Amino acid sequence: MTTPDFAAIDRMLARLRGLKGLAKDSAPAIARACKEEIGSNVQAQQDPYHRPWRPGQDGHPILTGASKAVTVEAHGTVVQMAVEGVEALHHKGTARGYKGGAEAGRMPVDASKRGSRWKRKWFGGFRRNIIPPGGTIPGPMRTVIAVELSKKFKGMKK
């Protein structure tokens, strides 16, 4: 019969207790990594799921400076992302149909009687997601988060 290694069990328990602050401690690193992922997606002309964006009318790359309009911040254990400026209109799919003025973005009363093609013309229609849509975490961004958490976990004292 072997005697248990209580020192090893104590080390394991101490490491598990250290997990309590893992999310809060690693949130800033996760925010930086997510910002880098968004930047690489913009350069590759793809959404957070790595699906290509619809090309521009002239075929040239679009929204090349969109990563500058993105803010990614860590607040405690939460990572918050936002898009500002004209890039936000592209993100929502409303940029192309914008005409300006007080009536901009208002759809006429009889819009429900018309087809989706007309609605797309009015509202812009082509959504180019820059950050993940509300409440979802795409697979590629989950991978980035997992890598950052594993770095932090491996860096903890053994």
Q: In this model, does residue 98 exceed pLDDT 50?
A: no
Q: What is the helix (H) or strand (E) element at residue 70, kind and residue range?
A: strand 70-75
- Residue 157 · residue 14 · CB < 8 Å: yes
More confident residue, 114 or 37: 37
First to last CA, the chain: 27
For the residues 56-82, what does the mean pLDDT come to? 91
For the residues 116-145, what does the mean pLDDT come to? 77
| Whole-number Å distance between alpha carbons of 122 and 81 | 28
User: What's the confidence (pLDDT) of residue 89?
Assistant: 85
Phi and psi, residue 78, nearest 5°: -110, 135
Mean pLDDT value across the chain:
81
Ramachandran bin of 84, using left for φ above 0, alpha for ψ from -120 to 50, beta for the remaining angles: beta
Pairing type for strands 70-75 and 78-83 reads antiparallel
Distance, C-alpha 123 to centroid of its chain: 23
> Which amino acid, 124?
G
For the residues 5-19, what does the mean pLDDT come to? 85
What lies within 8 Å, CB to CB, of 85 at 6+ separation is: 69
Most confident of the following: 36-45, 50-59, 121-130: 36-45
